[in-house]
Chains A and B, each alone.
Chain A
Amino acid sequence: MRANTWAGRNKVKVRDVPDPKILNNRDAIVRITSTAICGSDLHLVDGYVPTMQDGDVMGHEFMGEVIEVGAGVDPHRLRVGDRVVVPFPIACGACGACAAELYSCCENSNPNAGIAEKMFGHPVTGIFGYSHLTGGFAGGQAQYARVPFADVGPLKIESELTDEQVLFLSDILPTGYMGAEMCDIQPSDVVAVWGAGPVGQFAMDSARVLGAAKVIAIDKEPYRLQMAQRAGHTPVNFEEVDVRSQLLELTGGRGPDKCIDAVGMEATHGSAHIAAYDRVKQAVRSETDRPHALRQAILSCRSGGVVSVIGVYGGLLDKFPAGAWMNRALTLRTGQCHVQRYMKPLLQRIERGEIDPTRIITHTMPLDEAERGFDIFKNKQDGCEKVVLKP
């Protein structure tokens, strides 16, 4: 089959690889009809996530048709012919974490848990196409994928919704939604979202759906801010204005009640010397993450507010504003999204027309053009917000 693979730093390559087969009893093989490039794929391509290997099949946002199931798959849950969206965290459904619906903390799905444990203190879940640290599972930017624990994660789509309407239930819609949900939003809340990429856009829409009074979008790309503005959110361009002053202005001096970091470890910064400091430290590997967005979110949030982190961090960071966090009674919440927990309720919101996930799609192209897709997405060319690939 054809698959998009990691081919070293700053390089992806579509190549021929073997078709996936059943390896465990509860596996299914899915013929992929739609897949997408995620912002977190860029962290892998940019070389900031360790344990990537040449030839790793990328991609963790995909959907398609079940063409084969292992002997252990519960036929009441999944059968050949089902149309499914596959959640990016692989979860067994049986461990303590899964029982608590903390699916992205599954204790069984990562065969490389011993390696992950060394880096993070405790292991992390298996994730499709997302380094060997998260299991070394082949990803979904391919014609076919093997899906472990297929009777736990995949969501059956039984209505006539298009791929484009449901594909993002695999990751970015639930991730954005969880970012907003962790904010415990009240009707009087002003919610500021750092990053107007795909996850940020969905965090904004979710904050609105959950009843926020005002939602602010912070980014530097005019086209991404315009996209947020068209959806009813208030844009702030950090290259044009001082973010803190602008947020004070927009909130009567209080600061946003809730702040969402939808940027993560590769933030850019309006202040060149601070950006350079973190870039150099990251380049020489004495800091793995560039956390400007997180720092600014903490410093901007009103006292007693919540800072919710859904942007991805990989390791260690410098100059964490612990004083602001502690003395101003901020709550910091985070997590890789427990996608399985949100898929059904969000599908219902899509069916009811409360959220339109298709609004962020700017490019659709064949899988074979994945290289170009990564290029324009990474370099923010051609107004690129979200690329959907068709195998």
Chain B
Amino acid sequence: MELTATTTIRKPAPEVYAFWRDLENLPTFMAHLEEVRATGDRTSHWSAGAPFGKNVEWDAEIVEEAPGEKIAWRSTGKADVPNAGSVRFVPAPDGVSTEVHVVLVYEIPGGRVGKAIAKYFGEEPHQQLDDDLRRLKQVLETGEVVRSDGAPWGKRARREFPQRPAQPLSDSELAKGADA
């Protein structure tokens, strides 16, 4: 399965590139990622969160990088969900902003993990990546993922609809935090 998505961020390309190149930042806006840990200059260990089913992990390596312009990576070894991705950073015509073009490719396995992934992407697989990039834009332009009373759970917000009512959170709900 190949997913593409794009957004425009009102920050210069080197800044957007640098944020993405620090792969440990990816889980702040990508809903399916629990953690990405750098294990070397070009290698990293990724773990997916609940949407992909539990305990889905893989190693990855950066296979191509052009500072300020492009990063490409792929999973290595015997990954549960072999995958690859690339992101290009292109100066926008306004002279201020950066167009971010992302391609993700997953080899969906059979079995439990495959089912969980199929359910996660649902009928509109692009929507998930679109929402990921919307959050990336929020983080880079405003500093964090925007929360509302109806959708207070940060990057997990899309999982529920109808949402909780648009009224303030109770203390116990508040204690769950943005990633509850």
Binding site for B on A (CB under 8 A): 1, 3, 5, 17-21, 23-26, 53-57, 72, 92, 94-96, 99, 107-115, 117, 126, 129, 132, 135-139, 146, 148-149
**Distance A148 CA – B151 CA, assembled complex (angstroms):** 14
> In the assembly, what is the distance between CA of A24 and CA of B152, in Å?
10
Question: B24 contacts the other chain (Cβ, under 8 Å)?
Answer: no
Residues of A within 8 A of B166 (CB): 53, 55-57, 129, 132, 136-139
Find B10's partner among A21, A99, A132 (CB 8 Å cutoff). Answer: A99
Known pairs A23-B152, A24-B146, A136-B151; A114 contacts B163 (CB<8 A)? no
Interface positions of B from 136 to 180, Cβ below 8 Å from A = 137-138, 141-152, 157-158, 161-163, 165-171, 174, 178
Contact call A94/B148, Cβ cutoff below 8 A: no
Measured CA separation A136–B152 after assembly (Å): 9
Interface contact B94-A96, CB-CB below 8 Å: yes
Interface status of B101 (Cβ within 8 A of chain A)? no
Does A57 contact B167, Cβ atoms closer than 8 Å? yes
- Tell whether, in the assembled complex, residue B150 and residue A112 are in contact, meaning their CB atoms are under 8 Å apart: yes
Q: Give 1 or 0 for each of B120-140: 1 = CB within 8 Å of chain A CB.
A: 000000010011001001100
Whether A95 lies near B146 (C-beta < 8 A) is: no
A83-B21 Cα distance, complex, nearest whole Å: 43
| Chain A residues with CB under 8 A of B6 | none
Shortest A305–chain B CB gap in Å is 33
Which of A19, A95, A111, A129 is in CB contact (< 8 Å) with B147?
A111
On whether the beta carbons of A146 and B168 are closer than 8 Å, the reply is yes
B97 touches A96 (CB 8 A): yes
Describe A's contact surface by its main secondary structure: loop
Q: Report whether A26 and B169 are in contact in the complex, using a CB–CB cutoff of 8 Å.
A: no
Q: Does B8 contact A (CB under 8 A)?
A: yes
A109 to B: closest C-beta gap in Å = 6
Contact: B148 with A135, CB < 8 Å? yes
With A21-B168, A136-B151 as contacts: A94 and B142 at CB distance below 8 Å: yes
Q: List 16 A-B contacts (CB under 8 A).
A: A5-B165, A19-B168, A20-B149, A23-B169, A24-B146, A24-B147, A54-B165, A56-B165, A57-B166, A94-B142, A95-B137, A109-B146, A115-B161, A117-B130, A126-B146, A148-B148
Q: How far is the CB of B125 from chain A (nearest CB, A)?
A: 13
Option from B142, B150, B165, B169 in Cβ contact (under 8 Å) with A108 = B142
Given contacts A5-B167, A56-B165, A56-B166, contact A146 B149 (CB under 8 A): yes
Are B165's CB and A53's CB within 8 A?
A: yes
Majority DSSP secondary structure for residues of B touching A: loop
A72's partner among B131, B137, B143 (CB-CB below 8 A) is B143
Interface residues on B, range: 35 or more
Instruction: Give CA–CA (A292, B10) in the complex, Å.
Output: 40
Q: How far is the CB of A24 from chain B (nearest CB, A)?
A: 6
Complex-state Cα separation, A96 to B163, whole angstroms: 28
Q: How far is the CB of A95 from chain B (nearest CB, A)?
A: 5
CA distance A215 to B72 in the complex (A): 62
Set B10, B127, B151, B161: member contacting A96, Cβ < 8 A: B10
Q: How far is the CB of A82 from chain B (nearest CB, A)?
A: 21
Chain B residues within an 8 Å CB radius of A54? 165
**B163–A132 touching, CB < 8 Å:** yes
Q: A108-B138, A138-B166 are in contact. Are A95 and B10 (CB under 8 A)?
A: yes
B162: chain A residues within 8 A (beta carbon)? 53, 132
Q: Write the nearest CB–CB distance from A207 to chain B, whole angstroms.
A: 34
A92 near B150: Cβ-Cβ < 8 Å: no
Q: If A111-B151, A114-B130 touch, does A94 touch B168 (CB 8 Å cutoff)? A: no
- B165 near A135 (CB under 8 angstroms)? no
Contacts of B142 in A (CB 8 A): 26, 92, 94, 108, 149
